[in-house]
Amino acid sequence: MKKMKALIVAAAALSLSALLLAGCGGAPANDKKAEDKAPAKEEKTTLVVGLDNAYPPYGFIGDDGNLTGFDIDLATEVAERNGWDLELEAIDWDAKDALLNQGTINCIWNGFTMEGREGKYAFSKPYMHNEQVVVVKADSGIDSLEGLAGKNVMTQVDSAALDVLEDEEGQKALADTFAGGAAQTIGDYNNAFMQLESGTVDAVACDLSIADYQMAAKPDMFVKLEPLSTENYAVGFAKDGDQAMVDAVNKTLKEMYDDGTIAELCEKWGEYGITIDNWVLVD
């Protein structure tokens, strides 16, 4: 019994010694020094892309419920090659400038026309040729722009097509002949084409790629008229934004063209009207 008590006392003494040593701060002090010496972790760059999620084939919601599209594939590859995180933000297209200037998004990458907007954004180099066109039903009897006189023509709000139709040096004179003296506007092109198909409107003014996508989906339903204008797509950043990011996007897109990635993506989206023939960022 005495031996047992002696062992218990000895064990208690050892435990107390250990606690006292720990209280003196030997190990924690070393940990503190290690923390002080550890370098701060670098914050990873994030590419936050603002887009219209009803703008096929550049950005739209696929059958699986996820965002997809040609421009999304481009942005994904550019972000990966630069070691950036990527965030895709479906936005109200009307609010794009405010979101960009607030820093909620840091670029607009979504079949974004640069002509006429050069003073408002810091653009990447143009990467894709585009046109503004008018689509009508194949059985409409309309075969020229002049045939739109007195017709209901619809386009997307704040779109490049609307800009052309409101521009005195563009096609405003043509738009003045439309029913109501101007083009009607709607929030997205998918609904515009639904109205065209149902006969609610007579024509839709839109980007060439949108027209080609809709015509590829319903080849016997729609035809397009001659172009309203020709232009280019580019990635739009805030005017006083991150020039290093703009330069990196230009450099990476060029590398993707050189190594055949762009050709592969154009082939992937070929059935939606995308073609390597319209790619312009080659230098």
pLDDT in tens, 44-85: 899 999 999 988 899 999 999 999 999 999 999 999 999 999
Residues 207 and 238 in one domain: no
- Answer with the one of 192, 210, 231 that is the final residue of a domain: 231
Answer whether residue 17 is part of any domain.
no
Distance CA 256, CA 235 (A): 16
Q: In this structure, what CATH number is given to the domain that contains residue 56?
A: 3.40.190.10
What's the pLDDT score for residue 272?
A: 86
pLDDT in tens, 78-88: 999 999 999 99
What's the pLDDT score for residue 258?
A: 98
Spatial CA neighbour of 50 closest among 7, 103, 126, 120? 103
Segments in the chain forming alpha helices (H): 2-23, 26-37, 70-82, 96-102, 160-166, 172-175, 189-198, 208-217, 243-258, 261-268
Which band of pLDDT confidence, cut at 50, 70 and 90, is reported for residue 39?
Answer: low
Residues 71 and 118 in one domain: yes
Helix (H, G, I), strand (E, B) or coil at 166: helix
Answer whether residue 3 is part of any domain.
no
Residues 96 and 166 in one domain: no
What's the pLDDT score for residue 273?
A: 83
Residues 85 and 99 in one domain: yes
The pLDDT of residue 36 is above 60? no
The pLDDT of residue 197 is above 50? yes
Total-model pTM: 0.75
pLDDT in tens, 181-192: 999 999 999 999
Residues 223 and 137 in one domain: yes
Residues 115 and 136 in one domain: no
Residues 149 and 225 in one domain: yes
Percent of the chain surpassing pLDDT 90 = 76
What's the pLDDT score for residue 10?
A: 46
Domain count, the chain: 2
Query: Which helix H or strand E contains 61, and what residues bound it?
Result: strand 59-61
Domain range spanning residue 155?
130-231
pLDDT in tens, 205-263: 999 989 988 998 899 999 999 999 999 999 999 998 899 999 999 999 999 999 999 99
Given a contact cutoff of 8 angstroms between Cβ atoms, the answer to whether 125 and 78 are in contact is no
Residues 97 and 83 in one domain: yes
Residues 227 and 162 in one domain: yes
pLDDT in tens, 88-99: 999 998 899 999
Q: For the residues 90-110, what does the mean pLDDT come to?
A: 94
